[in-house]
A = this chain, B = another copy of it.
Amino acid sequence: MKLGIKEIGVFIPEQRIDNTAKQSKFDFKDTFLEEKIGVFNTAVKDPADDCTDMCVKAFNALNEKISIDKSEIDIIIVVTQNPDARMPHAGAILHGKLDLSPKCASFDISLGCSGFVYGLSTIVSLMKENGFRKGILFTADPYSKVVDPEDRNTSLLFGDAATATLIAENADLCPGKFTFGTLGSKFNEICLVNDRLYMNGQAVVKFVKRFIPDDIRKVVDMNGLTLGEVDRFILHQGSKFMVDIIKEDLGINGSKAPFDIRNYGNTVSSSIPIILEKEMKDKSSRNFLISGFGIGLSWGSCVLMRP
């Protein structure tokens, strides 16, 4: 049974916060947003919406692209660190809101920017082992719940979004081999302090330089490919600077490694599926590298291939 990604639904809230209006407050150079952050507006969820409401909207976007018989869904997984509540899991609340079958398994994975990659391996592995035919992997990590608007390091960067990825047979993209990693000794470089997000940007850059390009080389090789045979590098959209570091190290040009978060921001575990949803439409692209990295510190990479 060859399971993979059949289709992706994306929800990005309409409301935006304008980063250019913050220039005097945060005292940054004219070139800072363009060259370093790469974000001019961050997306913010409706205050009335919580994590699972965003998931429902991503499900609706998915359902518009490919009609879903909800009774056929065997499993849902929600990747989030900002669920509606700590108890119960968001997957249960979402299960109720979508009126899914009692036989549908559900749980949450607590991970940030590496979450889509981990979640993909988890849902595909569980589906294969348990003979499940249809599953949906949700990502929704509304950082607007934890970002301090006065914090220059985070408030210019993070945006809210959610995605719903349908996993099934006869897929468009099938995952090959994965790599995973954790640097738990550095867990406090990105964490909550008094319920607000703290991020040590320099430490994160150092971590990315040290681990991520090598990890990408390794996973591409594990999948029997060369870097030149990868058509698209879908990197977690941490910031323009972060993506540029990896591109430079790997020696790949801009069009092969899209960066496209100017109008909504770094959406954590949703950043890879948002870019992938666009890029997978081009059927001439056959091999997609995906790589997520961030809070934990944690990372995961994989190559997705057209069957």
Chain A contact residues, CB within 8 Å of chain B: 75, 81-83, 85-100, 102-112, 115, 118, 121-122, 124-126, 128-130, 146, 177-178, 180-187, 190-192, 197, 211, 295-298, 300
Contacts and interface: CB of A to CB of B under 8 A. Distances in A.
A97 B184 contact: yes
A191 to B, nearest CB: 6
Given A92-B298, A191-B85, A185 B125 contact: no
A95 B299 CA distance: 13
Contacts of A89: 81, 110-111, 295-296, 298
A240 to B, nearest CB: 24
Contact of A181 (B99, B102, B108, B185): B102
A43 to B, nearest CB: 20
A297 B87 CA distance: 11
A168 B177 CA distance: 20
A92 B126 contact: no
Contact of A182 (B100, B110, B300): B100
Given A107-B109, A121-B129, A128-B129, A295 B75 contact: no
A164 B111 CA distance: 20
Contacts of A300: 105
